[in-house]
Amino acid sequence: MHRRIVFLALFSVTTVLASAALLDGQESAPPAQTGTTSAVSTTEHFDPVAATNAYLAKVPPDKKAKSDAYFEGGYWLILWDFLASSCIFILLLATGLSARMRDWAERVTRFKPIHTFTYWVEFLIFTSVITFPLDVYEGFVREHKYGLATQTFGPWLGDQLKGLAVGVVFGGLLLMALYGIVRRLPRTWWIWGAATSLVFLTFFALIAPVYVAPLFNKYTRLEDPAIRDPILSMARANGISAKDVFVQDASRQSTRVSAFVTGFLGTERIVLNDNLLTRCSLAEIEAVMGHEMGHYVMHHAYKGLMFFGIILVLAFAFLSRSSEWALKRWGDKWRTHSAGDLAALPLFAFLILAFLFVLTPIDNSYSRTEEYEADIFGLNAAREPDAEAEVDLKLADYRKLDPGALEEIIFYDHPSGRVRIYAAMRWKAEHLHELGNRE
């Protein structure tokens, strides 16, 4: 929860990480069937559904039950995070504490931007302290319980404090700009606020790979040519002019396998974490990197910014209307009467939080669509369908493999394991002759 709270605070009045999209072209998961067809069969009678079920059957029942319990528990955490944060924001307003925090900030100096920054520091520290027990359970205790974390408490706490510091700096800068807009443009602030937020979000995404990510992990160049050269060859073949591959020391925090091609406008980096290197074969690494290159080649970062821009405008329009109504009704009690009043920040944070909560299925569906597109790209780029299926099984350490259709729509920001493995087996069925010749 801590990371979510930090970035909720960082973009509490601005960032709506959701966008509307349908699963256009995505084929639904195949129905579960009994079957014993080998997942590595390459006969002309190859059955993708049976091969998918054969892969899913590789997961022992106890391991499947454990990953299902972990993932399903996350559904409740979405609700508890929302309720806990909402209660904190309402508490700040109803008790008048937000107004007192504003008054104290205004006594520091006459310079209004400093008022904003000071209040933001108070607000962020207060919310972080109150939610700390839930953060510890969600980010530390629970992760260790399911065998997904490797950090002791001290280093984990250090990462949380770094995240808090990032939130203080970038959140403070953003809010100073936004409150300046609100005070100067009281009627159209929501339009300019959305535009400013999008610019800020773009700037943050631009610098994060180079200046923010290294605060939490060490990135070194991959020196092993047996792994590096095939990745760079695949990158060049797909129009990515990369000269290096970087390794992230994620094992200091987690057991999860992961990789990404991050950044844009010159800050792109091809990154894989060290868990991927130690837990996966070369074919599996190529399958993962093909997927990540798909995000880059299909311009998902830019498309995401366009979607977020539309949603930001809608969010700020909602924020403007709903906050105006709330301030008219309860402003006297809260000792805050206008959007430009710093004491109204908890109200804005609550409204944005509610907006995000309602849009969770839409946000997840948009993300899931892009991930499915990257899966298909990766299959065509790496041409390793069985390796893709093996990696999907490794992701089952923390993702439920075979959810119901509605469950996947609401809670999954990636396609389920069944959908992803079936896509790989369907691709394999259409390339049997080619794969047979290669072998």
**pLDDT tens digits along 208-233:** 888 899 999 999 999 999 999 999 99
Q: pTM for this structure?
A: 0.85
- The amino acid sitting at 283 is A
Mean model confidence pLDDT for the chain = 88
| 6 Cβ contact partners less than 8 Å away, ≥ 6 residues apart | 124, 128, 163, 164, 166, 167
- The residue ranges of every structural domain in the chain are 2-15+64-215+301-362, 217-300+364-438
Chain segment 361-394, per-residue pLDDT in tens: 999 999 999 999 999 999 999 999 999 999 999 9
- Binned at pLDDT 50, 70 and 90, residue 406 comes out as very high
- What CATH architecture applies to the domain 217-300+364-438? 2-Layer Sandwich (3.30)
- Give me 219's structure tokens: 């990135």
- Tell me if residue 220 falls in helix, strand or coil: strand
Nearest-angstrom CA–CA distance, 341 and 182: 9
248 strand-pairing partners: 219, 273
Chain segment 130-183, per-residue pLDDT in tens: 999 999 999 999 999 999 999 999 999 999 999 999 999 999 999 999 999 999
